[in-house]
Amino acid sequence: MKLKMYQVDAFADKLFSGNPAAVVILESSIKDEVMQSIAAENNLSETAFVSVYESPISIRWFTPSLEVDLCGHATLASARILFDYYPDLARKEINLNSKSGVLKITQVEHGLCLNFPIDQPAEIESDPLFFEILGIQPLMLLRGKDDYLAVLKNQKQIENIQPNFSLLKKVDARGLVISAPGDDVDFVSRCFYPEAGIEEDPVTGSAHTMLAPYWANQLNKDELEAHQLSKRGGRLNCRLANNRVYISGSSVIFFEGTISIL
């Protein structure tokens, strides 16, 4: 069997930045274990599998080691491929069925906009484990649906953090997000997911479903600019409305090709 596969740098306006995602187009079903093997072979933070034979089109996301319920950058990458290569299926907007419900993606002036469910984090008691992980005491610790959020004082602290990944694997969540006010944007962040096989994710759309509502409450504004401070880096525009988070960003297609599986 041959499958079309693409790689897209998401939340990027130039190659070799943002977060790279693989997009595999499925015209018929394949086994879950085959999807997981393809994702492991790609060794990217996520590989998206887009079933164009289903109506509505469905999407699933796999890290090199497991399936996840929501992934922003691989959704943006998948939508870019559908809009560019499958115009009969995707015109000005597209709906993708997923484990997190139906996700709507629209074309906007400077890229694509993801319509995602909000994840309102709740403040929790301080835990000394997070001081050990970060080497610094967070100003506040919160828990969202999937991740912990540690709020720090400023952008410089975010830039300088070197987490203890062996301790981070003990956290009872998908991972840990750290965030602070930005120097030239509303907020900055970094995201760590060692349990999912990703020590630091370059740009994490799904984390912004938690980050955007937190900073919207702190800054008393519904439209925010964000910068994820990984080595590759990425910028996102976030807007809150009707209990949804609208996350916009650019993307660049790196390659298109065909993979063969037995």
What would the pLDDT profile of 165-212 be if each residue is shown by its tens digit? 999 999 999 999 999 999 999 999 999 999 888 899 999 999 999 999
Give 10-60 pLDDT, tens digit per residue: 999 999 999 999 999 999 999 999 999 999 999 999 999 999 999 999 999
Band of residue 262 on the pLDDT scale cut at 50, 70, 90? confident
pTM, whole model, 2 decimals?
0.92
What residues have CB less than 8 Å from 197, skipping those under 6 apart?
63, 64, 65, 66
237: CATH: 3.10.310.10
CA 100-96-241 angle, to 5 degrees, is 65
Instruction: Tell me 206's DSSP state.
Output: T
Two tokens, residue 220: 């008393």
At 24, is the secondary structure helix, strand, or coil?
A: strand
Active-site annotation holder among 27, 46, 132, 225 = 46
- Token reading at 141: 């610790």
Q: Is 82 exposed, middle or buried (0-12, 13-18, 19+ CB in 10 A)?
A: buried
Helix (H) or strand (E) holding 213: helix 208-219
Chain segment 47-82, per-residue pLDDT in tens: 999 999 999 999 999 999 999 999 999 999 999 999
Clarify whether residues 148 and 107 are in a common domain. no
Contact by Cβ (8 Å): 24, 47: yes
Q: Please tell me whether residues 145 and 199 are part of one structural domain.
A: yes
68 and 142 together in one domain: no
Shared-domain flag, residues 168 and 237: yes
Give percent of the chain with pLDDT exceeding 90: 95
User: Looking at the structure, do residues 53 and 138 belong to the same domain, yes or no?
Assistant: no
Tell me if residue 46 is catalytic. Answer: yes
Place of tokens 């939508």: 79
% of the chain at pLDDT higher than 70: 100
Same domain, 79 and 185: no
pLDDT at 123 over 80: yes
Task: Give CA 35 to chain center in angstroms.
Answer: 19
- Whether 24 and 101 map to the same domain: the answer is yes
Q: Is the peptide bond before 56 cis (omega within 30 degrees of 0)?
A: yes
Dump pLDDT digits (tens) for 130-150. Answer: 999 999 999 999 999 999 999
* Cα of 220 vs its chain's centroid, Å: 24
Owning domain of residue 60: 2-114+248-260
